[in-house]
């Protein structure tokens, strides 16, 4: 029988969720604009750039607040560095809106690509070299940032959660984190 704890009920080392406060110099965690340009029914205020069967993709420009894009890229690079993955500079950004999900289940996610060529290869042909994605998870009117980073060639995959207060919890998603 496998157990999540040792015989004394103490979590095993890989189950410990150490919390680290992250602050990135010069990168604000809030701004004047709303995070996303959506209406009261949580629908985007513009037409999608790409329409797929279960999701619509929108150019981040005009949909995702510039301060939020900057924060997400800074946090992605912080997490990529900790995971020994390539950093991204001046990425292309798409907002993914899952048609079948609610905001608490990750309806909104922001996907970053190194350039327009990688975006097209990944979105239109499902040939992705890496992933730099952030699901915005709504819990009790607060937005948690659930990060997924990968290097598909090296078969490296990482998940991290950053709370609204900027607390980083490694090796987990925000769906499993209590608020």
What is the full per-residue pLDDT of the chain (179 aa) written as tens digits? 333 444 444 443 444 567 888 888 889 889 999 999 999 988 999 999 999 889 999 999 999 999 999 999 999 999 999 989 999 988 999 999 998 888 778 899 999 998 888 888 888 778 787 789 999 999 988 999 999 999 877 788 899 999 999 999 999 999 988 76
Q: What is the pLDDT at residue 17?
A: 64
Q: For residues 16 and 11, what is the distance between their CA atoms, to the nearest angstrom?
A: 6
Q: For residues 160 and 76, what is the distance between their CA atoms, to the nearest angstrom?
A: 10
Q: What is the pLDDT at residue 9?
A: 45
Report CA 48 to chain centroid distance, whole Å. 19
């Amino acid at each position: 029988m496998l157990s999540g704890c040792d015989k004394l009920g103490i979590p095993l080392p890989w189950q410990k969720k150490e919390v680290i406060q992250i602050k990135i110099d010069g990168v604000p965690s809030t701004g004047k604009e709303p995070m996303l340009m959506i209406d009261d029914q949580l629908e985007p205020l513009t037409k999608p750039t790409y329409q797929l069967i279960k999701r619509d993709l929108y150019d981040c420009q005009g949909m995702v607040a510039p301060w939020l894009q900057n924060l997400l890229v800074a946090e992605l690079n912080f997490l990529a560095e900790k995971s020994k993955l390539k950093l991204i500079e001046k990425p292309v950004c798409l907002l993914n809106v899952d048609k079948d999900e609610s905001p608490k289940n990750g309806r909104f996610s922001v996907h970053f690509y190194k350039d327009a060529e990688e975006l097209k290869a990944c979105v239109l042909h499902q040939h992705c070299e890496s992933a730099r994605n952030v699901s915005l998870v709504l819990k009790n009117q607060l937005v948690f940032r659930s990060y997924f980073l990968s290097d598909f060639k090296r078969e490296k995959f990482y998940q991290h959660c950053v709370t609204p207060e900027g607390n980083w919890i490694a090796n987990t998603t925000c769906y499993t984190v209590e608020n």
